[in-house]
Structure 1
Amino acid sequence: MILDTLVQAPQYNALSPRFAPAFAFLRQVHESTPLGRHEIAGEEVFAFVQQHATKPVAERKFEAHRKYIDIQYIVRGRELIYWAPLPLLTTVTMPFDEKMDAALFAGIPEAVPLQLRPGHFAILFPADGHAPSCAWEEPTEVLKVVVKVMV
């Protein structure tokens, strides 16, 4: 898991050749970017621009992926993403679904809250269980981008 700001993003390009186009897309995102799926590099890199209300962590499930790395970026608003190493998430609520590239898990008290504000991103690898879109202090509207980067 990596938590940083978009200004610092170029230093992570060495981790994957697919990160450079992902971060280039994020640098172009603004408040009026259309919601929905955006193609970046076919099935290797694509993004979802989303607007939603955050929810209390008790209402969120942890998720994990196998095929894609998530880069979750905040455009407007703020949210918490709770993080936990995948081996600690032992209560499976939805077994891994190949088509969705996701498994869901019940939360754990040891989860670490990551605070994301506009301009912040979190890179979440397959070993990173995460519960996104959690309310920071109270539920609020968030405009965010989730870039899916093939492993």
Structure 2
Amino acid sequence: MFISDFNSSDYQALLPEQFVAAINYVKTQDLVNMALGKYPIPGIAEEDAFFVVMEYDTNVESPVGPEFHKTYTDVQLIVKGEERFGWAEVTDEQYEQLAKEFSYDSEKDICFTALDAVEMSYQAMRYDEFYLFSPKTVHMPGLSVSSPGLVRKIVIKIKQPC
């Protein structure tokens, strides 16, 4: 997992050009007032990167459990409300074993695992920061910080290079 502040120039030096372009475009949008839904990122093919504006209620416990992806990296940021998330970095062996054991869905690019499948760390999302979850980062978003509440979140999906 990689965490950065939008006001920092560090991420621009550390991340691939396509990631930087996607993040820089999204941060210029009116994310608080944008309609919910999926959006393209100008200059990048939609199958390579897009972002989703979503709202949902957080939960004390996840109704679906931890997740990971194979095709896309998630870049997540919160624009309204508060959210806590769990995460765990996994080895190549763990990653392949989880994909087999918990039936990776290639059409939706997601695999949900059991909560006890990996040892998770937890933290709250902060405004003006983004959280990058690579395919080898199992993550569990949507958890409440103090009590369940409405969250507005942006998820940028960026295709992993082959």
- TM normalised by structure 1 equals 0.88
Secondary structure of 1:144 counterpart: strand
Matching of residue 119 in structure 1 with residue 128 in structure 2? yes
Change (3 A) 1:58 1:49: closer
- Aligned-residue Cα RMSD (Å) equals 2.2
Matches within 5 A, 1:71-90: 71-86=75-90, 87=94
Partner of 2:106: 98
Is the contact made by 2:38 and 2:50 (CA closer than 8 Å) also made in structure 1?
Answer: yes
Matches within 5 A, 1:18-29: 18-29=18-29
Candidates 137, 147, 155, aligned match of 1:138: 147
Give CA deviations for 1:17-62 in whole Å, capped at 9, x if unaligned: 2112221233123310111000012211100000111112343411
Secondary structure of 1:133 counterpart: strand
Matching of residue 150 in structure 1 with residue 159 in structure 2? yes
Percent sequence identity over matched residues? 25
- TM normalised by structure 2 equals 0.83
Matches within 5 A, 1:11-22: 11-13=10-12, 14-22=14-22
Letter aligned with residue 105 of structure 2: D
What's the CA shift for 1:150? Answer: 0.7
C-alpha separation between the residues in 1 aligned to 2:123 and 2:10?
A: 20
Secondary structure of 2:104 counterpart: strand
Question: Which runs of 5 or more structure 1 residues have no equivalent in the other structure?
Answer: none
Is the contact made by 2:99 and 2:111 (CA closer than 8 Å) also made in structure 1?
Answer: no
Secondary structure of 1:20 counterpart: helix
C-alpha separation between the residues in 2 aligned to 1:72 and 1:92?
A: 26
Letter aligned with residue 4 of structure 1: S
C-alpha separation between the residues in 1 aligned to 2:152 and 2:130?
A: 13
Secondary structure of 1:100 counterpart: coil
Secondary structure of 1:123 counterpart: strand
Give CA deviations for 1:100-121 in whole Å, capped at 9, x if unaligned: 1111101138311121022221
Q: Which runs of 4+ in 1 moved over 3 A?
A: 88-94
Q: Which has the higher strand share?
A: 1
Give CA deviations for 1:53-77 in whole Å, capped at 9, x if unaligned: 1112343411111111000011111
C-alpha separation between the residues in 2 aligned to 1:50 and 1:136?
A: 18
C-alpha separation between the residues in 1 aligned to 2:86 and 2:50?
A: 23
C-alpha separation between the residues in 1 aligned to 2:128 and 2:101?
A: 32
